[in-house]
Chains A and B, each alone.
Chain A
């Protein structure tokens, strides 16, 4: 078999793996929300299912690794693919792993965003019906309020103790997923630069490292701005400095 034929076979093998993963992710996208609703808006089964899908994805990646280690490398080498060309073929495998991992992350973020929007909608619907115990006037309950709080009725000035229900308490945790999805473009850029950093040579590493820091900061800023819009009590500056400290360490 010629080198071109061997390279073509390797490409088509990697493409098959990618297609299989894409099929799995698309199918998960279509069914996850139904499962969430069927489970009574419980996020635990979804979390477990997403872990299982991730394992499937990693198994697909290891198929490419095994094929490369056990057969393809030798086949290509024997058919005249050497040095840089061989490295290039190996990088196709790394690229596949990165693509599958980032596709999985995007899929997970999308699913969690769908769940979060659903919970927030349920929480908002209930909050609209909260009324004063004294005069029955509707109380203005801020959506981000997911803990007990004293609310004063603007008509009769009675001090009411607001007790959030299950969905309001859940919404507090789900704001993170909505904010993360709103910062998806920044997140994709950050993932790309992180991959570039893994691939960088000694000469370019410092440059890519600083580009990664910029991309990570941009993602955090966007995420925290979106989180603050949902939950005004978010201290964006403090959170950002904490994230950057964590990144630098």
Chain B
């Protein structure tokens, strides 16, 4: 295995686990809290009691998703699992000259991922549903403009080119009733 393959495998493994955790946590309410509890147990975490959850929910109003501290506990578990895996790899490959090139980026990935993932999760949960105001503003901004000028209604009339007399109704409209000149040649 090359050092790059090791880094890629670790990164992908972590990403898959984090995505799964976040999507499960996001669906926790209103129908999935049982599923979330089961998910916590799968990761050897005892789900907090309802009273404890109520206390936490009193700190910040949350209408959906699992409580972030519970998500953090699962993410810490993921981190520990990857750290253990890294320690195993270190035992095997520490003597290789390329090992520092694996260890340094792996440490970098591990150092901030829990906080970053929690931030991403809270951002997703706090995102407000699309409002009519946003929809209208977006529509106004992006719709193509097909008409830019408003024409006014009006009237016009054909007049005799010789004497400028109007064409009264019922007359031969090709010839001027006043001077007899041709109005239209056709």
Q: Interface of A with B (CB < 8 Å)? A: 9, 12-13, 16, 20, 24-25, 27-28, 30-32, 35, 38-42, 44-46, 48-49, 52-53, 56, 67, 71-72, 75, 123, 126-127, 130-134, 139, 141, 151-152, 156-168
Contacts and interface: CB of A to CB of B under 8 A. Distances in A.
B144 A133 contact: no
Given A158-B168, A160-B155, A13 B132 contact: no
Nearest 3 A-B pairs (CB), nearest first?
A165-B153, A27-B132, A49-B139
Contacts of A156: 166, 168
Dominant secondary structure of chain B at its interface with chain A: loop
A46 B150 contact: no
Interface in B34-89: none
B157 interface: yes
B133 interface: yes
Interface in B121-166: 129-133, 135-136, 138-140, 142-158, 166
B116 interface: no
Contact of B157 (A12, A45, A127, A158): A158
Contacts of B145: 42, 44
Given A13-B31, A24-B131, A39-B140, A166 B167 contact: no
Given A130-B155, A131-B155, A141-B153, A31 B133 contact: yes
B139 A159 contact: no
Contacts, number: 130
Contacts of B129: 20
B173 interface: yes
Contacts of B133: 27, 31
Given A41-B150, A46-B139, A132-B157, 4 more contacts: A49-B132, A158-B167, A161-B155, A163-B154
Given A134-B166, A157-B168, A158-B168, A139 B155 contact: yes
A159 B172 CA distance: 12
Given A161-B155, A161-B156, A53 B132 contact: yes
B30 interface: yes
B170 to A, nearest CB: 8
B153 A160 contact: no
B173 A159 contact: yes
Contacts of A141: 153
Interface residues of B, number: 36
Contact of A24 (B132, B169, B173): B132
Interface in B88-143: 129-133, 135-136, 138-140, 142-143
B24 interface: no
Q: Which of B138, B139, B155, B166 counts the most A-chain CB atoms under 10 A from its CB?
A: B155
A10 B135 CA distance: 29
21 contacts: A20-B129, A24-B132, A27-B132, A27-B133, A28-B135, A31-B136, A40-B147, A44-B146, A48-B139, A48-B143, A49-B140, A52-B135, A132-B155, A133-B156, A151-B155, A157-B168, A157-B170, A159-B166, A159-B167, A159-B168, A167-B150
Contacts of B152: 126, 165
Nearest to A70: B31
B165 to A, nearest CB: 9
Contacts of A130: 153-155
A111 to B, nearest CB: 11
Q: Which of B129, B139, B145 counts the most A-chain CB atoms under 10 A from its CB?
A: B139
A27 B38 CA distance: 39
A147 B50 CA distance: 71
B32 interface: yes
Nearest to A72: B31
A49 B132 CA distance: 8
